[in-house]
Amino acid sequence: MQRPVVMPPSPVGPDWATDTAPLPSRNVKEDLEPVDLPDLLIGTLPPPGKDGTLELVVGRSPDCDVVLDDPAVSQKHAAILWDGKVGLLRELGSSNGTYLNGLRLGSRAALRTGDEVTFGYSTFVFLLSSELHVKLLREK
């Protein structure tokens, strides 16, 4: 069963984009503290090569494709390779190691959707967009 499509109300007045509906008082707590979130950066992948492959180098160096400002990450820490079908995580000789699902990586390992990859203090989840899209549709 699909959710019905709900259209937003039409704009009325000059502050329609910033006004919000008041919440019922039972849902509002007076003693809420502001939440301080670290800077969130969103990046896009570079286009794959003509053969459909892609290599992302992860590290502290500004020359890397994914730059991590993390003192526990090496200049060129690891690489994620994509051949158009399968992802591969490759260790590039980092000082503190690369971890896949909590286990220290030897030299390389295949990636599956949902795998947790850790470089220094930074953890990422490897997701195939097609499987993520299907999962999101199921959860609606």
Structure confidence by residue, pLDDT tens digits, 69-108: 999 999 999 999 988 788 899 999 999 999 999 999 999 9
pLDDT confidence tier of residue 52, bands split at 50, 70 and 90: confident
111 closest CA partner among 96, 99, 120: 99
Q: Which among 28-37, 92-101, 119-128 has the top mean pLDDT?
A: 92-101
Q: What is the mean pLDDT of the chain?
A: 75
Q: Are 93 and 108 in contact (CB under 8 A)?
A: no
Cα–Cα distance for residue pair 35/22, rounded to 1 Å: 20
pLDDT at 45: 63
pLDDT confidence tier of residue 10, bands split at 50, 70 and 90: very low
Instruction: Give the amino acid at 14.
Output: P
pLDDT exceeding 70 applies to what percent of the chain?
Answer: 59
